[in-house]
Amino acid sequence: MADQRAGRAHWASRFGFVLAAAGSAIGLGNIWKFPYITGQNGGGAFVLVYLGCIVVVGLPIMMAEFLIGRHGQRDAVGSFVALEGKGSPWCLVGWGGVAASFIVLSFYAVVAGWSFDYVVKSAMGTFPGRSAGEINALFGGLVSSPLQVVFWQGFFVAATVSIVLGGIRGGIERWSKVLMPVLFMLLVLLFVRGMLSPGAGAALDFMFRPDFGRLTPQALLDALGHAFFTLSLGAGTMITYGSYLHPKSDLFSLSVRITVLDTLVALLSGLAIFSVVFAAGLEPAAGPGLVFQTIPIVFASLPFGSLLAFVFFVLLAFAALSSSISMLEVSVAYLIDEKGWGRKRSTFLIGSLAFLVGLPSALSFNVWAQVTPLFGKTFFDLMDVLVSSYMFPLGGLFVALYAGWFWKGEGEKEELLGGRHRAWLFPLWHFLLRYVAPSAVLLILLNQIGVF
Ligand code: PFF
């Protein structure tokens, strides 16, 4: 392992790492998915469960993933090999992560592609002067065209590939440092605009006044699954990113920072979007089109609206990119570390495969909209449910069980604390990992399949 460590690329700075990992966490999950599933699940109570899952399940598992990756100093599979030896069943957890991050990349590229199309639409001044209804129809026009959707999906995969080709420091870290701060500032602007609009009160009410009567088993599962999705957990990503960390970094404060940033972005986006939804009399449960149908409406009525809409969609596209590069990096790191392949060959291969596997998802909004192979869901929805509701939570569950109960490595405690004296931290973390996180995941999964 010593020579592995010596020859391996590492993040240039701690700040760069936080931004790259936050870049992975912050993406379509926060700005596109969180508002739309909050809308579908009735608001407040769902948000509360989601926040609970972030703190007691997500954060401790994120720390465990960083720890495993940093200790193993290899990709998601190789880190378990380094810790437990080849052939250990725990390597399956790494494999599950590689598979999940690959599948999520395949359909994520479809939605990310829409944001590129909206960059072009806003650059051409398509939104100002249009009614809410017309803006709604624009979205329908885009997704019903297989050619446009597949074109943008391919474009997005190609962009992801080109960044991952640059490697850790030159590609991922350098881009994240610029993109994330700008995204954050723009979101604050949108949030302030939303709070000054007539829909602000209704938005706050919708998101923060819990109505527990609306908490279905499905809502619980969605909240849990989304906590994993939004923090990029159970996907091998944080193990892989952790493997590029220096041995002395303080994992606790890094994880807290990333989690706080991620949650803040989700809440800001939710409030910004729901203020528009309520001010314009739109439907909060509109589904996957929500952000594309509301944000252009806010901007259409603002001075410099076209410019702002343009900047917003550029940033949405970039937020998606800083996440998709982390998905691609999981499989690429596997091929580099375990198979000895070059970065170029690995990146091209996985990128092309992800594009092909993503095609049925792209067609789910148009020519295959009526094709529902299982449970009455389109291919896109099936892929989403498969990874978000099952693969990520199960991956996270096994990471928790491993780090909480089975890791025999000495120095787990010292590594976590990074030489700092926080007497309360290790026992609390261990307790959450051993009991709380696994029971939450199990209860919610069993509840969903109707055991209770
Ligand atoms: N966390 C990303 C988002 O919220 O958009 C999505 C994601 C990235 C999921 C990386 C999984 C992953 F491995």
pLDDT of residue 1: 35
pLDDT of residue 297: 85
pLDDT of residue 6: 45
Q: Which atom of ligand 1 is nearest to the CA of 101?
A: 13
Structural domain that includes position 79: 2-448
Q: What is the pLDDT of residues 33-91, one digit of tens each?
A: 999 999 999 999 999 999 999 999 999 999 999 999 998 989 999 999 999 999 999 99
Q: Which atom of ligand 1 is nearest to the CA of 32?
A: 5
From ligand 1's centre to the CA of 326, what distance in Å? 8
Q: Quick check: CB of 29 below 6 Å from ligand 1?
A: yes
What does the angle CA 119 – CA 122 – CA 128 come to, to the nearest 5 degrees? 160
Is the model's pTM score more than 0.85? yes
CA 102/CA 237 separation, integer angstroms: 11
Q: Quick check: CB of 379 below 6 Å from ligand 1?
A: no
The domain tally of the chain equals 1
From ligand 1's centre to the CA of 229, what distance in Å? 5
Q: Quick check: CB of 230 below 6 Å from ligand 1?
A: yes
Q: Quick check: CB of 223 below 6 Å from ligand 1?
A: no
Domain containing residue 351: CATH number: 1.10.4160
pLDDT of residue 345: 96
- Average pLDDT of each block of 10 consecutive residues along the chain (452 residues)? 51 78 93 93 94 96 94 93 93 97 97 96 89 90 96 97 82 73 85 90 95 89 93 96 83 92 95 89 85 85 80 87 93 93 95 98 94 89 93 96 85 68 85 95 83 72
CA 347 to chain centroid, in Å, comes to: 20
Task: Give CA separation, 347 vs 23, 83, 173, 264, in Å.
Answer: 19, 26, 17, 32
From ligand 1's centre to the CA of 393, what distance in Å? 13
pLDDT of residue 271: 95
Cβ count within 10 A of residue 226? 27
Q: What is the mean pLDDT of the chain?
A: 89
Both tokens assigned to 98: 């590689």
Q: Quick check: CB of 115 below 6 Å from ligand 1?
A: no
Q: Quick check: CB of 232 below 6 Å from ligand 1?
A: yes
